[in-house]
């Protein structure tokens, strides 16, 4: 049997060297994400797609058909362990599912579209003081006048602020409804995003624009309820933030999408002086180029080039803002309304989703698979060395030979074993009922009616011949090894192969049950015909004397092709069996006919097999044949 200590040590080594993507791109992890997605969206969304875009600013996107998760995003990569990275990904998934469930993307789309055309689509904020009224009038003049910079910058800022409020709103709902991995992931992503944003003093020292600093302060407050100002800076921007706080608090908790857009409008109004300064600054920078535009005859081209310059200038502002809130509209748009009815939403409330244990199982499974692959590669290398060192006679030395061993077991191999398993179990029940009593008799037993012994057998005291003694005999060890060689030439196709598979599986299960070492090999040639130098004998290692958890699947997935050069296969497998130390060595050949290889058939092939059989029997190997067909 496999040394469990060495095996566990190897699996642990594989765990330590696992790459993130090996786990997150695995079928098991993908199925886990799909299961979570289906559960927290009420079954309305089941498609989750993973991408690796380390240079992209986003962690996730929600479209009308799917959720897209960027597993190589900067925030997820920043966490030190696979468990924390997994929580980060699940947090992003929960965030995007929150948008799918609760965000009104059509309303947002109309809101921003109207802003681009120079108007607010919702009721304007109504400030109590005259300065607020003045700002409303000024904004309207800029939006409706010849100010393309104003329309573009107002639209971009409105998009940014609405994203900020909407993100926190859906995250708060998802955290309250799904404590566990989703809540933990969302909160740790929030804190990491907060850590990535520079402090107020750093922003000022680096020359950030006032509007950028203000938006950054608003984002920090919306995420965590505080701002990064450990250097204790003061100024008008902090005073402005104090006015913004109650509006933000309202915006991130308002259950109505229109109310959240109203909060966005109020924040736009509050920071209008900063926006106006930025608009005028950008207009001044593009003014010099405008004269060259006016010389052209096409007004539309002039407007397009002016807008292009505005966009370039605004990109400099966006570089000072958190990238996870910028430019999300391209994918985060759905044509349908929120998918889960409110009655159904209540059923999902406070339902913990904890996947840390499942992630550990996923890691264990992947590490075991890699360890298994490494182990099989080592076994295969050893087998090929054995084949190279095996002595063959006659023409067997002139053909090419190789050993193969299937290391990757998939659904196909498992399905083939499941098909054969019921019949194998029936055969096993019969084998146990007939053969196990014979093996059990090999154990400790009491002999009675003896002339001499260790104890008196009381019921036999009146035996006229004086046979009233008994004694116990010690157990006899099972001292045997079995090898099975299966012909996998094309003529074995169909029912013959099925019978061979059932036979091998039944003998394998029985030998494992009673502790007899068993070796199973299949063999065939490439069927290249007459020329020896063109023939390739392939020996398939299905089960070695050291049992492997995938032996059953390898046996069940045997396939046929080519012809059969029995002598070469018999010599190789017989040599492996002959080296065993067991007293009884049994080699069983399963075939449907005579050998048929390159220049290897008829009486000559039969004589070759008889000679190999005699040599093996001289070394204590009992050779048997099981004919099929």
Q: State residue 603's pLDDT score.
A: 83
Helix (H) or strand (E) segment spanning residue 627: strand 621-627
Average pLDDT over every residue of 472-496: 82
Residue 175, class by beta-carbon neighbours within 10 Å (0-12 exposed, 13-18 middle, 19+ buried)? buried
Cβ atoms 101, 39 nearer than 8 A = no
3-state class (DSSP) for residue 591: strand
| Backbone angles phi and psi of 446, in degrees to 5 | -110, 125
Q: How far is CA 90 from CA 35, 64, 181, 188, 355, in A?
A: 12, 20, 7, 11, 9
Q: Residues of the chain with pLDDT > 90: what percent?
A: 41
Average pLDDT over every residue of 229-244: 92
Given pLDDT bands bounded at 50, 70 and 90, which one contains residue 343?
very low
Read off the pLDDT of residues 502-527 as tens digits, 9 standing for 90 and up: 999 999 999 998 888 999 999 999 87
**What is the rounded average pLDDT for all residues in the chain?**
84
Distance CA 491, CA 339 (A): 58
53 alpha carbon, distance to own chain's centre = 17
Cβ atoms 322, 193 nearer than 8 A = yes
**563 or 465, greater pLDDT:** 563
Read off the pLDDT of residues 175-215 as tens digits, 9 standing for 90 and up: 999 988 999 999 999 999 999 999 999 999 999 999 999 99
Q: Is the pLDDT of residue 555 over 80?
A: yes
Given pLDDT bands bounded at 50, 70 and 90, which one contains residue 129?
low
Distance CA 280, CA 284 (A): 6
Q: Is the pLDDT of residue 297 over 50?
A: no
Read off the pLDDT of residues 67-113 as tens digits, 9 standing for 90 and up: 999 999 999 999 998 889 999 999 999 999 999 999 998 899 999 99
Q: State residue 337's pLDDT score.
A: 45
Q: Is the pLDDT of residue 253 over 90?
A: yes
Average pLDDT over every residue of 259-268: 92
Angle at 48 between CA 46 and CA 54, to 5 degrees: 170
Average pLDDT over every residue of 528-549: 86
Distance CA 550, CA 2 (A): 13
Cβ atoms 222, 248 nearer than 8 A = yes
Q: Is residue 266 left, alpha or beta, with left meaning phi > 0 and alpha meaning psi from -120 to 50?
A: alpha
Residue 240, class by beta-carbon neighbours within 10 Å (0-12 exposed, 13-18 middle, 19+ buried)? middle
**183 or 46, greater pLDDT:** 183
Q: How many CA within 13 A on the CB side of residue 394?
A: 15
Q: Which residues lie closer than 8 Å to 256 by C-beta, 6 or more apart?
A: none
Tokens 């003061």 correspond to what residue? Answer: 234
| Backbone angles phi and psi of 444, in degrees to 5 | -65, 135
Strand 445-450 with 455-456, pairing: unpaired
Average pLDDT over every residue of 228-244: 92
Read off the pLDDT of residues 423-452 as tens digits, 9 standing for 90 and up: 998 888 888 887 776 665 555 566 776 766
Distance CA 613, CA 587 (A): 10
Q: Between 602-618 and 566-578, two packed helices, what is the crossing angle to 10 degrees?
A: 0
226 alpha carbon, distance to own chain's centre = 37
């Amino acid at each position: 049997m496999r040394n469990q200590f060495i095996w566990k040590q190897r699996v642990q080594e594989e765990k330590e060297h696992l790459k993130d993507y090996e786990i997150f791109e695995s079928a098991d992890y993908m199925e886990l994400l799909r299961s979570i997605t289906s559960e927290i969206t009420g079954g309305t969304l089941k498609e989750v797609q993973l991408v690796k875009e380390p240079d992209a600013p986003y962690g996730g996107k929600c479209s009308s058909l799917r959720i897209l998760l960027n597993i190589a995003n900067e925030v997820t990569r920043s966490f030190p362990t696979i468990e924390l990275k997994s929580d980060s990904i699940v947090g992003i998934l929960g965030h995007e599912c929150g948008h799918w469930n609760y965000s009104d993307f059509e309303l947002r789309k109309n809101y921003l579209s109207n802003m681009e055309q120079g108007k607010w689509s919702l009721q304007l904020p109504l400030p109590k003081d005259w300065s607020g009224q003045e700002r409303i009038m000024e904004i309207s003049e800029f939006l409706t006048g010849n100010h393309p910079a104003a329309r573009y910058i107002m639209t971009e800022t409105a998009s940014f602020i609405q994203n900020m409020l909407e993100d926190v709103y859906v995250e708060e709902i998802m955290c309250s409804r799904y404590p566990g991995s989703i809540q933990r992931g969302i909160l740790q992503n929030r804190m990491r995003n907060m850590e990535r944003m520079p402090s107020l003093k750093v922003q000022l020292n680096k020359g950030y624009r006032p509007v950028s600093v203000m938006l950054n302060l608003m984002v920090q407050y919306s995420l965590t309820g505080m701002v990064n100002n450990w250097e204790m800076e003061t100024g008008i921007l902090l005073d402005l933030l104090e006015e913004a706080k109650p509006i933000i608090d309202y915006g991130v908790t308002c259950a109505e999408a229109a109310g959240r857009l109203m909060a966005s409008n109020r924040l736009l109004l509050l920071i209008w002086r900063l926006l106006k300064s930025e608009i005028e600054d950008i207009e001044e920078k593009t003014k010099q180029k405008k004269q060259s535009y006016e010389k052209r005859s096409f007004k539309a081209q002039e407007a397009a080039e002016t807008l292009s310059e505005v966009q370039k200038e605004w990109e400099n502002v966006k570089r000072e803002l958190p990238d996870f809130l910028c430019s999300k509209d391209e994918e985060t748009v759905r044509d349908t309304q929120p998918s889960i009815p409110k009655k159904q939403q209540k059923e999902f409330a406070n339902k913990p989703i904890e996947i840390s244990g499942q992630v550990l199982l996923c890691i264990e499974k992947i590490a075991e698979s890699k360890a298994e692959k490494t182990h099989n590669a080592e076994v295969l290398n050893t087998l090929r060395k054995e084949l190279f060192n095996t002595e063959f006679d006659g023409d067997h030395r002139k053909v090419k030979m190789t050993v193969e061993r299937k290391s990757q077991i998939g659904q196909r191999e498992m399905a083939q074993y499941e098909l054969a398993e019921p019949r194998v179990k029936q055969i096993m029940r019969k084998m146990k009922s007939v053969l196990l009593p014979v093996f059990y008799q090999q154990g400790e037993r009491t002999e009675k009616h003896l002339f001499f012994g260790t104890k008196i057998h009381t019921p036999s005291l009146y035996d006229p011949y004086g046979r009233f003694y008994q004694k116990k005999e010690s157990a006899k060890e099972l001292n045997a090894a079995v090898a099975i060689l299966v012909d996998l030439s094309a003529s074995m196709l169909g029912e013959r192969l099925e019978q061979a598979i059932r036979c091998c599986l039944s003998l394998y299960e029985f030998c494992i049950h009673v502790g007899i070492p068993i070796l199973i090999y299949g063999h065939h040639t490439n069927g290249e015909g007459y020329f020896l130098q063109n023939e390739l004998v392939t020996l398939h290692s299905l089960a070695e004397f050291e049992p492997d958890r995938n032996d059953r699947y390898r046996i069940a997935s045997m396939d046929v092709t080519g012809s059969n050069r029995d002598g070469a296969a018999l010599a190789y497998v017989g040599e492996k069996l002959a080296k065993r130390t067991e007293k009884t060595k049994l080699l069983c050949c399963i075939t449907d006919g005579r050998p048929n290889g390159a220049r290897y058939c008829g009486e000559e092939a039969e004589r070759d097999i008889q000679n190999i059989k005699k040599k093996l029997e001289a070394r204590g190997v009992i050779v048997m044949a099981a004919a099929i067909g």
